[in-house]
């Protein structure tokens, strides 16, 4: 059983690293698409008809991937000013409450994102004619990784080391 769980964990880590790299590519693609649209409209007096729809899709994808990455790296938004003033037992309680809230949000994204994907299987986006579910696909994926990373943080506190970006380590060294 332990080997199976290690294999699952390794596979999920590989997928997570692919998503992290993908989010970097998506950000670059959004910048290029929007820039091309602005240049085309301003100087060529012609709009790229699919640019807004594709940029929106990529932004939605990047948002949900980035949320999962933020949870994995334990850098999501929280109020540290008050937390640091709490006594240690209260900090522990606050940390667990934060984990439970994050777990709940991830679960909601996973379940409702899946429902949204299923509800939009038969419709298409107006300009590109891509299936509409593609727009919402990263919602349950992000929700899954939020749940996964939160469970790791709850029961394996050193888990954030699994999600360190080698490129960031080189920059800080």
At 26-56, the pLDDT tens digits run 899 999 999 999 999 999 888 899 999 999 9
> Which of 75, 72, 70, 98 minimizes the C-alpha distance to 160?
72
More confident residue, 39 or 18: 39
Round to whole Å and give the CA distance between 92 and 99: 11
pLDDT-derived band at 115 (thresholds 50, 70, 90) equals: very high
For residue 13, the model assigns a pLDDT of: 77
Round to whole Å and give the CA distance between 41 and 47: 5
Q: Which of 15-19, 64-68, 138-142 has the lowest mean pLDDT?
A: 15-19
Considering the chain, what percentage of its residues have pLDDT values greater than 70? 87
> Which of 51, 50, 159 minimizes the C-alpha distance to 99?
159
Sequence-ordered list of residues with C-beta below 8 angstroms from that of 27, at least 6 positions apart, any chain: 62
Q: Are 81 and 101 in contact (CB under 8 A)?
A: no
For residue 126, the model assigns a pLDDT of: 92
Q: What is the pTM of this model?
A: 0.79
pLDDT-derived band at 6 (thresholds 50, 70, 90) equals: confident
Q: Are 142 and 109 in contact (CB under 8 A)?
A: yes
pLDDT-derived band at 100 (thresholds 50, 70, 90) equals: very high
């Amino acid at each position: 059983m332990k080997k199976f769980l290690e294999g699952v964990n390794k596979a999920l880590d590989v997928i997570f690293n692919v998503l992290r790299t993908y989010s970097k590519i998506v950000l670059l693609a959004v910048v290029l698409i929007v820039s091309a649209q602005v240049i085309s409209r301003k100087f060529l007096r012609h709009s790229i008809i699919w640019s807004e729809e594709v940029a929106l899709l990529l932004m939605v994808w990047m948002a949900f991937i980035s949320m999962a990455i933020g949870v994995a790296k334990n850098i999501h938004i929280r109020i540290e000013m008050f937390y640091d003033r709490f006594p240690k037992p209260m900090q522990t309680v606050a940390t667990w409450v934060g984990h439970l809230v994050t777990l709940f949000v991830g679960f909601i994204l996973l379940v409702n994102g899946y429902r949204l994907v299923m509800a939009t299987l038969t419709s298409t986006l107006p300009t590109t004619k891509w299936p509409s579910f593609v727009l919402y696909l990263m919602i349950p994926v992000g929700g899954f990784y939020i749940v996964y990373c939160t469970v790791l943080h709850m029961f394996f506190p050193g888990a954030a080391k699994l999600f360190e970006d080698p490129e960031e380590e080189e920059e800080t060294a």
